[in-house]
Amino acid sequence: MNKKLLKTGERVVPDEFKSLEEYLSYLRHLKAYQFSQEFLPHNNIILEIGSGEGYGTNLLSETAEKIIGLDKDSPAIEHANQKYGSEKCLFQLFAGDRLPFEDNRFDAVVTFQVIEHIEDDIGFVKEAYRVLKEDGQLLVTTPNRTYRLKPGEKPWNKFHVREYYAEDLERVLKRVFSDVRVWGIRGKEEAQKIEIERIKKGFKSIDPLNLRRLIPLTIKPALATVMRKLTGRKLLTESLEESIKRFDSDDFYIIKDNLENSLDLLGICRK
Protein backbone atom coordinates (compact mmCIF):
# COMPACT_ATOMS: atom_id res chain seq x y z
CA MET A 1 0.00 0.00 0.00
CA ASN A 2 1.26 3.45 -0.91
CA LYS A 3 2.07 5.55 2.17
CA LYS A 4 0.46 8.96 2.45
CA LEU A 5 3.02 11.66 1.82
CA LEU A 6 3.10 14.47 4.37
CA LYS A 7 1.97 17.72 2.78
CA THR A 8 4.14 20.77 3.46
CA GLY A 9 4.18 24.35 2.28
CA GLU A 10 7.11 23.48 -0.03
CA ARG A 11 5.66 20.36 -1.66
CA VAL A 12 2.69 20.10 -4.01
CA VAL A 13 0.62 16.95 -3.38
CA PRO A 14 -2.23 16.39 -5.85
CA ASP A 15 -5.78 15.30 -5.01
CA GLU A 16 -5.99 16.47 -1.40
CA PHE A 17 -6.51 20.21 -1.67
CA LYS A 18 -7.62 22.17 1.38
CA SER A 19 -8.18 25.48 -0.39
CA LEU A 20 -8.61 26.94 -3.83
CA GLU A 21 -5.20 28.55 -3.42
CA GLU A 22 -3.55 25.16 -2.96
CA TYR A 23 -5.28 23.88 -6.07
CA LEU A 24 -4.21 26.88 -8.15
CA SER A 25 -0.62 26.44 -6.94
CA TYR A 26 -0.78 22.86 -8.19
CA LEU A 27 -2.16 23.97 -11.57
CA ARG A 28 0.60 26.56 -11.93
CA HIS A 29 3.25 23.94 -11.30
CA LEU A 30 1.45 21.48 -13.58
CA LYS A 31 1.60 24.02 -16.41
CA ALA A 32 5.42 23.89 -16.33
CA TYR A 33 5.33 20.12 -16.78
CA GLN A 34 2.75 20.32 -19.55
CA PHE A 35 4.83 22.92 -21.35
CA SER A 36 7.93 20.73 -21.00
CA GLN A 37 6.09 17.70 -22.34
CA GLU A 38 5.12 19.65 -25.46
CA PHE A 39 8.40 21.57 -25.81
CA LEU A 40 10.91 18.74 -25.44
CA PRO A 41 11.36 16.14 -28.19
CA HIS A 42 9.71 12.83 -27.41
CA ASN A 43 11.65 9.68 -26.56
CA ASN A 44 14.30 11.68 -24.73
CA ILE A 45 16.22 10.57 -21.66
CA ILE A 46 15.37 13.14 -18.99
CA LEU A 47 16.63 13.98 -15.51
CA GLU A 48 14.45 15.85 -13.06
CA ILE A 49 16.19 17.47 -10.09
CA GLY A 50 13.72 17.97 -7.24
CA SER A 51 10.97 15.54 -8.24
CA GLY A 52 8.94 15.96 -5.03
CA GLU A 53 5.73 13.93 -4.95
CA GLY A 54 6.48 12.62 -8.43
CA TYR A 55 3.34 13.56 -10.36
CA GLY A 56 5.25 15.76 -12.82
CA THR A 57 7.97 13.18 -13.39
CA ASN A 58 5.26 10.66 -14.12
CA LEU A 59 3.62 13.02 -16.62
CA LEU A 60 6.90 13.55 -18.48
CA SER A 61 7.46 9.78 -18.57
CA GLU A 62 4.47 9.44 -20.91
CA THR A 63 6.49 10.87 -23.80
CA ALA A 64 10.06 10.18 -22.63
CA GLU A 65 12.15 7.13 -23.32
CA LYS A 66 13.20 7.23 -19.68
CA ILE A 67 13.16 9.74 -16.83
CA ILE A 68 14.95 9.73 -13.48
CA GLY A 69 13.67 11.92 -10.67
CA LEU A 70 16.06 13.00 -7.90
CA ASP A 71 14.98 14.36 -4.53
CA LYS A 72 16.68 14.81 -1.17
CA ASP A 73 13.59 13.75 0.80
CA SER A 74 13.55 10.01 1.51
CA PRO A 75 9.77 9.72 2.19
CA ALA A 76 9.06 11.55 -1.08
CA ILE A 77 11.28 9.15 -3.02
CA GLU A 78 9.66 6.12 -1.39
CA HIS A 79 6.19 7.51 -2.10
CA ALA A 80 7.02 8.36 -5.73
CA ASN A 81 8.53 4.95 -6.47
CA GLN A 82 5.50 3.20 -4.98
CA LYS A 83 2.94 5.39 -6.75
CA TYR A 84 4.60 6.10 -10.11
CA GLY A 85 7.70 3.95 -10.44
CA SER A 86 8.17 1.89 -13.59
CA GLU A 87 10.93 0.76 -15.94
CA LYS A 88 10.86 4.17 -17.63
CA CYS A 89 10.10 6.31 -14.56
CA LEU A 90 12.62 5.94 -11.72
CA PHE A 91 13.21 7.92 -8.53
CA GLN A 92 16.49 8.17 -6.61
CA LEU A 93 17.48 9.75 -3.33
CA PHE A 94 20.09 12.46 -3.81
CA ALA A 95 21.28 15.20 -1.45
CA GLY A 96 24.75 16.08 -2.73
CA ASP A 97 26.27 18.78 -4.89
CA ARG A 98 27.64 16.65 -7.73
CA LEU A 99 25.00 14.77 -9.69
CA PRO A 100 25.53 10.97 -9.54
CA PHE A 101 25.80 10.58 -13.32
CA GLU A 102 28.52 10.67 -15.94
CA ASP A 103 28.98 13.56 -18.36
CA ASN A 104 26.72 13.83 -21.43
CA ARG A 105 24.10 11.41 -20.09
CA PHE A 106 20.75 13.18 -20.60
CA ASP A 107 18.89 14.82 -23.47
CA ALA A 108 17.13 17.18 -21.05
CA VAL A 109 17.24 18.28 -17.42
CA VAL A 110 14.20 19.83 -15.77
CA THR A 111 14.22 21.43 -12.33
CA PHE A 112 11.14 23.29 -11.13
CA GLN A 113 10.96 25.46 -8.01
CA VAL A 114 14.41 24.29 -6.87
CA ILE A 115 17.11 26.80 -7.80
CA GLU A 116 15.86 29.33 -5.22
CA HIS A 117 16.79 26.77 -2.54
CA ILE A 118 20.39 26.32 -3.74
CA GLU A 119 23.26 28.22 -2.14
CA ASP A 120 25.61 27.77 -5.10
CA ASP A 121 23.16 28.37 -7.93
CA ILE A 122 25.85 28.71 -10.59
CA GLY A 123 27.44 25.42 -9.49
CA PHE A 124 23.97 23.86 -9.66
CA VAL A 125 23.54 25.03 -13.27
CA LYS A 126 27.05 23.83 -14.15
CA GLU A 127 26.16 20.33 -12.95
CA ALA A 128 23.04 20.32 -15.13
CA TYR A 129 25.23 21.40 -18.07
CA ARG A 130 27.76 18.64 -17.35
CA VAL A 131 25.26 15.79 -17.52
CA LEU A 132 23.53 17.10 -20.65
CA LYS A 133 24.35 15.66 -24.04
CA GLU A 134 25.49 17.98 -26.81
CA ASP A 135 22.48 20.10 -27.84
CA GLY A 136 20.69 19.05 -24.63
CA GLN A 137 18.27 21.40 -22.88
CA LEU A 138 17.74 22.65 -19.34
CA LEU A 139 14.33 23.90 -18.20
CA VAL A 140 14.11 25.82 -14.91
CA THR A 141 11.26 27.49 -13.07
CA THR A 142 11.43 29.70 -9.99
CA PRO A 143 9.08 32.21 -8.30
CA ASN A 144 9.17 35.71 -9.74
CA ARG A 145 10.60 38.03 -7.12
CA THR A 146 8.83 41.07 -8.62
CA TYR A 147 5.43 40.43 -7.06
CA ARG A 148 6.65 38.68 -3.92
CA LEU A 149 9.27 40.98 -2.42
CA LYS A 150 10.06 44.65 -2.13
CA PRO A 151 13.39 45.89 -3.56
CA GLY A 152 16.20 44.71 -1.29
CA GLU A 153 13.89 42.54 0.83
CA LYS A 154 15.09 39.06 1.79
CA PRO A 155 12.81 36.09 1.02
CA TRP A 156 10.18 35.54 3.70
CA ASN A 157 10.27 31.83 2.84
CA LYS A 158 13.02 30.54 5.11
CA PHE A 159 13.91 27.79 2.64
CA HIS A 160 14.64 30.23 -0.19
CA VAL A 161 18.26 31.35 -0.31
CA ARG A 162 17.28 34.03 -2.82
CA GLU A 163 14.53 34.89 -5.28
CA TYR A 164 15.09 36.16 -8.80
CA TYR A 165 14.06 38.96 -11.08
CA ALA A 166 14.01 37.85 -14.72
CA GLU A 167 17.33 39.56 -15.40
CA ASP A 168 18.89 37.87 -12.35
CA LEU A 169 17.89 34.40 -13.52
CA GLU A 170 19.09 35.14 -17.05
CA ARG A 171 22.44 36.34 -15.71
CA VAL A 172 22.98 33.13 -13.70
CA LEU A 173 22.00 30.86 -16.59
CA LYS A 174 24.23 32.76 -19.04
CA ARG A 175 27.22 32.18 -16.79
CA VAL A 176 27.02 28.57 -18.00
CA PHE A 177 24.88 28.39 -21.15
CA SER A 178 25.26 30.68 -24.17
CA ASP A 179 21.75 29.98 -25.52
CA VAL A 180 19.32 31.21 -22.86
CA ARG A 181 15.74 32.46 -22.94
CA VAL A 182 13.74 33.55 -19.91
CA TRP A 183 9.96 33.44 -20.24
CA GLY A 184 7.24 33.43 -17.61
CA ILE A 185 4.14 31.61 -16.37
CA ARG A 186 1.16 33.90 -15.82
CA GLY A 187 -2.39 33.31 -14.67
CA LYS A 188 -5.57 34.42 -16.37
CA GLU A 189 -7.28 37.30 -14.59
CA GLU A 190 -9.01 35.51 -11.71
CA ALA A 191 -6.23 32.97 -11.07
CA GLN A 192 -3.60 35.72 -11.20
CA LYS A 193 -5.56 37.87 -8.76
CA ILE A 194 -5.97 35.04 -6.24
CA GLU A 195 -2.25 34.26 -6.22
CA ILE A 196 -1.17 37.88 -5.88
CA GLU A 197 -3.69 38.39 -3.08
CA ARG A 198 -2.33 35.29 -1.33
CA ILE A 199 1.12 36.84 -1.25
CA LYS A 200 0.17 40.43 -0.51
CA LYS A 201 -2.45 39.71 2.16
CA GLY A 202 -0.98 36.60 3.74
CA PHE A 203 1.47 36.35 6.59
CA LYS A 204 3.23 39.55 5.60
CA SER A 205 0.21 41.74 6.40
CA ILE A 206 0.22 40.64 10.06
CA ASP A 207 3.86 39.60 10.34
CA PRO A 208 5.95 42.72 9.70
CA LEU A 209 8.96 41.17 11.46
CA ASN A 210 8.86 38.16 9.10
CA LEU A 211 8.57 35.69 11.98
CA ARG A 212 7.00 33.15 9.61
CA ARG A 213 10.56 32.11 8.69
CA LEU A 214 10.77 30.50 12.14
CA ILE A 215 7.60 28.40 11.70
CA PRO A 216 8.22 24.64 11.25
CA LEU A 217 7.48 23.58 7.68
CA THR A 218 5.07 20.82 8.71
CA ILE A 219 2.57 23.17 10.36
CA LYS A 220 2.59 25.92 7.75
CA PRO A 221 -0.40 24.62 5.75
CA ALA A 222 -2.63 24.50 8.85
CA LEU A 223 -1.39 27.87 10.00
CA ALA A 224 -2.09 29.32 6.56
CA THR A 225 -5.74 28.42 7.02
CA VAL A 226 -5.81 30.40 10.26
CA MET A 227 -4.12 33.32 8.54
CA ARG A 228 -6.76 33.37 5.84
CA LYS A 229 -9.40 33.76 8.53
CA LEU A 230 -7.49 36.53 10.26
CA THR A 231 -6.97 38.46 7.03
CA GLY A 232 -10.64 38.23 6.13
CA ARG A 233 -10.29 36.06 3.06
CA LYS A 234 -13.04 33.65 2.21
CA LEU A 235 -12.32 30.18 3.55
CA LEU A 236 -13.41 27.48 1.12
CA THR A 237 -15.02 24.51 2.84
CA GLU A 238 -18.17 22.95 1.40
CA SER A 239 -17.83 25.09 -1.74
CA LEU A 240 -14.27 23.98 -2.48
CA GLU A 241 -15.27 21.24 -4.91
CA GLU A 242 -17.42 23.63 -6.91
CA SER A 243 -14.73 26.32 -6.85
CA ILE A 244 -12.12 23.90 -8.14
CA LYS A 245 -14.30 22.99 -11.10
CA ARG A 246 -14.00 26.54 -12.40
CA PHE A 247 -10.24 26.21 -12.95
CA ASP A 248 -7.84 23.98 -14.83
CA SER A 249 -4.28 24.26 -16.10
CA ASP A 250 -5.48 26.38 -19.04
CA ASP A 251 -5.93 29.18 -16.50
CA PHE A 252 -2.14 29.54 -16.68
CA TYR A 253 -0.11 30.27 -19.78
CA ILE A 254 3.41 31.01 -20.97
CA ILE A 255 4.45 34.60 -21.70
CA LYS A 256 7.59 35.83 -23.44
CA ASP A 257 7.32 39.55 -22.71
CA ASN A 258 6.29 41.76 -19.78
CA LEU A 259 7.81 39.23 -17.40
CA GLU A 260 7.14 41.47 -14.39
CA ASN A 261 3.56 40.17 -14.69
CA SER A 262 4.55 36.51 -14.44
CA LEU A 263 4.05 34.40 -11.34
CA ASP A 264 6.96 32.10 -12.14
CA LEU A 265 10.02 32.60 -14.31
CA LEU A 266 10.83 29.93 -16.89
CA GLY A 267 14.42 29.54 -18.01
CA ILE A 268 15.12 27.63 -21.23
CA CYS A 269 18.75 26.78 -21.98
CA ARG A 270 20.41 24.81 -24.75
CA LYS A 271 23.90 23.35 -24.51
In a domain, 86, yes or no: yes
For the chain, list the strands marked E by DSSP: 45-49, 66-71, 89-93, 106-112, 132-143, 179-187, 252-255, 264-270
pTM: 0.85
Q: How far is CA 193 from CA 12, 164, 199, 211, 261, in A?
A: 20, 21, 10, 25, 11
Does 32 have pLDDT greater than 50? Answer: yes
- The answer to whether residue 130 sits within a structural domain is yes
> Is residue 208 included in any domain, yes or no?
no
Residue 94, domain member (yes or no): yes
**Domain that includes residue 135, residue range:** 28-187+252-270
Is 243 a domain residue?
A: no
Cross-strand partners of 89: 67, 86
Whether the predicted pLDDT of 110 surpasses 80:
yes
Number of domains in the chain: 1
The CATH number assigned to the domain holding 164 equals: 3.40.50.150
The answer as to whether 50 is a domain residue is yes
Q: Is 176 among the domain residues?
A: yes
Is residue 231 one of the residues assigned to a domain?
no
Predicted confidence band of residue 226 (pLDDT cuts 50, 70, 90): low
**Of 100-104, 186-190, 204-208, 247-251, the least confident:** 204-208
